[in-house]
Amino acid sequence: MQIFLDTANIEQIRQAARLGVISGVTTNPSLVSQEGRADYEAVVKEICSIIPGPVSAEVVVEKAKDMIEQAQKIAAWAPNVVVKIPATAAGLEATSTLAKKKIKVNMTLCFSLNQAILGALAGASYVSPFVGRLDDIGEDGMGLVRDIVDVFDYYEFDTRVIAASIRHAQHCVSAALAGAHIATVPYKVLTQMIQHPLTDIGVARFQGDWQRLSEQ
Ligand code: G3P
């Protein structure tokens, strides 16, 4: 499973990139607005210059024609940009047109197996089931990831499954066990993935023992 970072925070992206475990980045309008930056294009270009892998940037219009127009502009920002398009009828229409133009699409706001299948059939390179938001309304977000992975495997779809709306480290474990190709995680969750109290205790003990030895 690959890990993408789900953020528009440049410092977090730089720090995560140094760990050598991040293959891509996903952003959305909410994440960019959290950074207080309205210069979306500049933010995405900066991220693309730090991370050579896929960087998702979302369209913010609703009609298919407008999505296609905006997506083509976004795709021209950098060679590694992937355009995020919502799983609506307009989004499917835009996705199929963009796929024919070889523009990579990440079908976002995906909440059902049907939406994921339609996204794949329209030619999306990625579909993003939103795990946390389904859990929020009492549904089984990771169950959806599992179903999409199984169905895509069965029909040999090339579309990659991104487990999105990841809220905690246990979601990452479940995404890996569900066979998600990618989990896109907030920086906080990435740091949770690294941590284990026994590692900290072990490091402290080794250092203490080594210190005592060197003082003898
Ligand atoms: O990857 C999608 C993500 O940014 C949405 O997360 O926590 O707002 O549901 P959340």
| CATH number of the domain bearing residue 73 | 3.20.20.70
Rounded to two decimals, the pTM is 0.95
User: 125 in ligand 1 pocket by Cβ < 6 Å?
Assistant: no
Nearest atom of ligand 1 to the alpha carbon of 133: 9
Q: Are 196 and 16 in contact (CB under 8 A)?
A: no
Could you tell me the residue range of the domain that residue 151 belongs to? 2-215
| Residue pLDDT, tens place only, 173-210 | 999 999 999 999 999 999 999 999 999 999 999 999 99
Q: What is the 3-state secondary structure (H, E, C) of 126-158?
A: EEEEEHHHHHHCCCCHHHHHHHHHHHHHHCCCC
C-alpha to C-alpha distance for 54 and 203, rounded to whole angstroms: 35
> Closest ligand 1 atom, CA of 132?
9
Pocket lining: 28 vs ligand 1, CB cutoff 6 Å: yes
Domains in the chain, number:
1
Closest CA to ligand 1's atom 3: 165
Q: Tell me: the pLDDT tens digits for 109-154?
A: 999 999 999 999 999 999 999 999 999 999 999 999 999 999 999 9
164 lines ligand 1 (CB under 6 A): yes
